Amino acid sequence: MNALESVGRATLRFLEYAGGLAALAADTAGYIVRLRVRVVEMINQAYLLGTQSNVIVLLTSLFTGMVISLESAVQAVQYGFGNVVGGAVAYGTVRELGPMLTAVVVAGRAGAAIAAEIGSMTVTEQVEALEALGLSPTRMLVVPRLLGLLLTLPVLTVFADIVSVGGGMWVAQAVANISPQDYLTSVRQTINMTDVAKGLLKTLIFAAIIVLIGSYQGLTTRGGAAGVGKSTTGSVVLAIILIFIANFTMSFLLFR
């Protein structure tokens, strides 16, 4: 009986969370469709959430591309396939690792910041004050963050792809004597703009996941400072898990 009760409570919590998250997403979409957007705040959030994440995103992408190239270049040359190294790095980066790793890094930084900031506002009753003034917390807090990250995450991903492929090219030349010309020729032969566009399409879904999870965790924070910490940790963990799930699902639908 206790096991059944535990399963039932877990199921109810899951459904309650999913329903609340869906309601927040629908409310946010409604404000965006009606163009009830705070443009200045959206630009500020684009800078805070996206632009300020560029260093860590670029470093992560650089070393990821370098590692892929390092692992593949020497073996490829030994077996006579050195001309495919650039394509292999670009293929994995543009279609999968670039969008996904960028989203994971941003979820760790920006997603945590969203949950912590809104959670602090919730426990200090600032969100209730907004409601008392007749202002929607969704419009004031969630919509600018969502639009800001929707604008900046694809741009971050483009730079991440370029840096990753460039780092792979440097390593391929340094450890396997693969010329930049051969490397870039392989890149051009392997990927096209359709691959890039599909990768960037993923980032829009990832941005929505990061902002909605972080915002919902913040808006449902309870229990003071300890609750803020719990919400922040939960938002990062859940966002990263959903990013991996969404990445697999979209890869299956877009690239199969």
Per the structure, the complete domain to which residue 171 belongs is given by 39-255
Q: Is residue 16 part of a domain?
A: no
Residue 1's pLDDT is what? 55
pLDDT tier at 19, thresholds 50, 70, 90: very high
> 133: which residues sit within 8 A by CB, 6+ positions away?
none
Per-residue model confidence as pLDDT tens digits over 216-237: 999 999 888 888 999 999 999 9
Q: Write down how long the chain is.
A: 256
Residue 98's pLDDT is what? 93
pLDDT tier at 203, thresholds 50, 70, 90: very high
Q: Is residue 20 part of a domain?
A: no
Percent of the chain with pLDDT over 90: 70
- Structural contact between residues 142 and 42, judged by C-beta atoms closer than 8 angstroms: no
Poorest-confidence range of 75-84, 143-152, 191-200?
75-84
Q: Is residue 220 part of a domain?
A: yes
Percent of the chain with pLDDT over 70: 100
Residue 124: half-sphere exposure toward Cβ, Cα within 13 Å: 9
DSSP of 2-68, one letter per residue? Answer: HHHHHHHHHHHHHHHHHHHHHHHHHHHHHHHHTT---HHHHHHHIIIIIGGGHHHHHHHHHHHHHHH
- Structural contact between residues 52 and 150, judged by C-beta atoms closer than 8 angstroms: no
pLDDT tier at 9, thresholds 50, 70, 90: confident
Rounded to an integer, the average pLDDT of 191-220 is 94
Instruction: Report d(CA 222, CA 174) in Å as an integer.
Output: 54
Q: Is residue 21 part of a domain?
A: no
Q: Is residue 190 part of a domain?
A: yes
Query: How many domains, in total, are found in the chain?
Result: 1
Q: Is residue 32 part of a domain?
A: no
pLDDT of 74 over the 90 cut: no
Q: How far is residue 108 from each of residues 2, 81, 105, 167, 191, measured CA to CA in Å? A: 36, 37, 5, 23, 29
Q: Is residue 54 part of a domain?
A: yes
pLDDT of 5 over the 60 cut: yes
Total-model pTM: 0.92
Q: Is residue 28 part of a domain?
A: no
Per-residue model confidence as pLDDT tens digits over 76-111: 877 777 778 888 899 999 999 999 999 999 999 999
3 φ, ψ to 5°?
Answer: -65, -45
